[in-house]
Amino acid sequence: MLFRAQDNHRGRRGRCDYDELPARSQKTAQACSALHGLYESKRRRHPCRLPVGPQCHPYSHARSAAFRQAGITQTKTLEEFIDVCAIFASQPPPKGNHVGIVTNSGGPGVLAVDACARAGLSTPQFPASLVHDFQAILPPVCPTSNPVDLGPEGSPDVYHQVTELLLTEPSIDMGLILCVPTMFSSIQAISQSVAKAKQNHPEKPLVTCWLAEDIVADGLPVLRQANITNFSTPQRAATALAALFQRAQWLRSQ
């Protein structure tokens, strides 16, 4: 597995810490970082031969096509580079690009749907049978389409039940669970509930987006222990899921 990072020097925002990766993905990330460092050193010595931006060279599109054919994943920023390393090392390849989204706040849920669409992922409406199961758990005011909105009162038990149902649904290939911390539930308890559901369904990719980084810090070790990749924004999560899907497509073509 090889990565080539395209860094335009405008994407170096946010933290990319190896300590935030699952334990077994740290070696992967460090190996990929070494490749990135090698590329950067060559780029500095031969700036004309190794253009950074996609528009810097007339052969950049052909190069990108060749990389895709070889199974090499390109990333545009160092942040995206670390995200892709983390999700490749922790999640199984999905069967398709259908993403099911769970949230406890409508705004981030909408952002997640938009981010998935921009990344080339699908967020289909849930089948009637799954909607019926959600409605049996949630209050009538909670939307049960895709995304399913648990509301700010979403408890750890509700998170567990809904995540279990999502992961058992054959029409959904990947799960994206969002949580905005509230006064109603402990983020650590919610993390434990989601981790338990993931452990029951290791064959399906599942990532989280715990918003408000400092507040959710207590729940992150629980997610890492369960091999659940957490992202700080829906956009980062969707980009990483899209890379995982593209990688799965390449693997099936071999």
Looking at residue 126, the DSSP 8-state letter turns out to be P
Mean pLDDT of 86-99: 96
Predicted pLDDT of residue 67: 76
Stretch among 46-55, 57-66, 178-187, 235-244 having the lowest mean pLDDT: 46-55
DSSP-assigned letters across all residues of 145-212: SSSEE--TT--HHHHHHHHHHHHH-TT--EEEEEE---SSS-HHHHHHHHHHHHHH-TTS-EEEEE-S
At residue 4, the pLDDT reads 46
User: Which pLDDT belongs to residue 160?
Assistant: 97
pLDDT digits (tens, 9 = 90+) for 127-177: 999 999 999 999 999 999 999 999 999 999 999 999 999 999 999 999 999
Q: Cα(13)–Cα(189) distance, rounded to whole angstroms?
A: 30
Domains along the chain with CATH numbers? 3-90 (no CATH), 99-253 (3.40.50.261)
Mean of per-residue pLDDT scores for the chain: 82
Angstrom distance (rounded) from CA 236 to CA 11? 12
Cis-peptide, bond into residue 147, ω within 30° of zero: yes
As a whole number of angstroms, the distance between CA 251 and CA 254 comes to 5
Flag the least confident range among 5-14, 36-45, 104-113: 5-14
Average pLDDT (25-52) is 47
Q: Where are the alpha helices (DSSP H) in 18-148?
A: 26-45, 60-70, 78-90, 106-118, 128-137
CA 72 – CA 222 distance, rounded (Å): 31
Residues 6 or more apart whose CB falls under 8 angstroms from that of 245 comprise 94, 96, 97, 120, 121, 173, 174
Residues forming beta bridges with residue 209, ordered by sequence position? 178
- Please give the Cα distance from 214 to 230 (Å, whole number): 14
